[in-house]
Amino acid sequence: MPLPYVLLSAAVSLDGFLDDTGPERLLLSGPADFDRVDAVRASVDAILIGAGTIRADNPRLLVNSAERRAARVAAGRPAYPLKVTVTASGDLDPGAHFWHTGGDKLVCTTDAGAARAARLLGGTADVVALGPALDWRVLLEHLHDVRGVGRLMVEGGGQVHTQLLQQDLADELQLVLAPLLVGDPAAPRLFGPGAYQGGRLRLTDTRRIEDVVLMRYEPTAPGTGPVATPADRHWLRTACELAALCPPSQTAFSVGAVLVAADGTELARGHSREGADPVVHAEEAALAKTDPADPRLPGATVYSSLEPCARRASRPAPCAELILRAGVRRVVTAWREPDTFVAAADGTGVLTGAGARVVVLPELESLAKAPNAHLLA
């Protein structure tokens, strides 16, 4: 099921706190960064915060710039993004600014919290019960399918950010580091304890804004199951882009592949016909660059723009077989192999028959096909 692009946005002190414990909200950023946040808000379909942030900060969450609101309206969008909050208790102050400013409001809650929230708010917001407990994936599917949300900005607080990152549901983190220290262990932290991806996130941008620094990160660790994560989509897109590097051919597909360890470390990449080998396949080229004894291979994922081949004339072993021999047990691909060169090729069947998992992301199929258009006409 497609989900919205989820952008986590936060500002923290040098010692990692979102706020102090005083009655007023701690201002971590300055005017230029607040204006940047305003631009990000103007770019999204919805903004989400936890009920704890409504209680602590009483925020309005507006697009403050009239020009940005006008541009949204000119583009056929509402002037303000949908405002969303999550609560289990349903304990929401009906007098909070959140309900009386901006555009549409939505409360996502549990079956038990819904009655209380609806009674307290009395029609100022839509209240939706998403089951006995709130499942973030169900919430995101609801926002995408029912509310038409393609891009979601999450503005805290720590409980919400922690869950979305730990559950592999965040596409991006926009983090501002402010030059002050809080030093109070009772203050809220951006990320709480728990299981996060093992390795390093990808730093995609840094920018000085007055005296704060904006850092943008993306998760890198592959998913572990049948459901694609944001990192899976990133790596598969990279594989599709590698396919564009292939020397053109009338007799073979252009394919790209990336091999990624469970902690998000890239182990190798390859593309069809790379180097001096006119028949090498992308997955084969990537695997050839790894040490077969590398203990990370059994936990790794192969990303291939085209399903790994099941049969081939040019070499004794097809790529599905090479992947299995390497011990890799998860493959993510964008495009099932058509009958163009091999009838009824079923690399997925070879892989799954041997116990590997294959995840197909049809949303990237057109990108995978692009360098092969001359073969598909």
Ligand X SMILES: NC(=O)c1ccc[n+]([C@@H]2O[C@H](COP(=O)([O-])OP(=O)(O)OC[C@H]3O[C@@H](n4cnc5c(N)ncnc54)[C@H](OP(=O)(O)O)[C@@H]3O)[C@@H](O)[C@H]2O)c1
Please report, as ranges, the residues that interact with ligand X according to CB under 6 A. Answer: 10-11, 18-19, 25, 28, 49-53, 56-57, 86-89, 91, 134, 155-160, 163, 188
Helices (H) and strands (E) in the chain, counts: 13, 14
Q: How far is the CB of 86 from ligand X (least distance, A)?
A: 4
The least CB distance from residue 108 to ligand X, in Å, is: 8
Q: How many CB atoms lie within 10 A of CB 345?
A: 23
How far lies 57's CA from each of 155, 181, 214, 242, in Å? 12, 19, 22, 46
| 208 strand-pairing partners | 213
As measured in angstroms, the least distance from the Cβ of 180 to ligand X is 12
Scan for tokens 């007023």, then name that residue. 24
- 282 near 272, Cβ under 8 Å? yes
How many angstroms separate the CA atoms of 271 and 280, rounded?
8
Q: How many CB atoms lie within 10 A of CB 177?
A: 16
Distance CA 140, CA 25 (A): 28
Other CB atoms within 10 Å distance of the CB of residue 60: 14
Q: Say which residues have a Cβ less than 8 Å from residue 343's Cβ, sequence separation at least 6.
A: none
| CB of 52 or CB of 78, closer to ligand X | 52
Nearer to ligand X, 52 or 349 (CB): 52
Which of 50/223 has CB closer to ligand X? 50
Cα 269–287–242 angle (5° rounding)?
A: 25
| Alpha carbon distance 51, 93 (integer Å) | 10
Chain position carrying tokens 């073969």: 375
Q: 10 Å Cβ neighbour count for 203?
A: 10
Nearer to ligand X, 4 or 157 (CB): 157
As measured in angstroms, the least distance from the Cβ of 26 to ligand X is 7
Report in angstroms how near the CB of residue 234 gets to ligand X at its nearest.
24
| Comparison of 53 and 304: residue with beta carbon closer to ligand X | 53
CB of 82 to ligand X, least distance (A): 17
Are the CB atoms for 171 and 6 separated by under 8 Å? yes
- Residue 222 Cβ, how far from ligand X at the closest point, in Å? 24
Residue 153 or 258 with smaller CB distance to ligand X? 153
Q: How far is the CB of 119 from ligand X (least distance, A)?
A: 14
Q: Which is nearer to ligand X, 112 or 354 (CB)?
A: 112
Q: Nearer Cβ to ligand X, position 33 or 307?
A: 33
Query: Measured from the CB atom, is 155 or 168 closer to ligand X?
Result: 155
Shortest distance in whole angstroms from residue 276 CB to ligand X = 52
Query: Nearest 5°: phi and psi at 50?
Result: -75, 160
Opening angle at CA 287, ends 283 and 289, nearest 5: 125
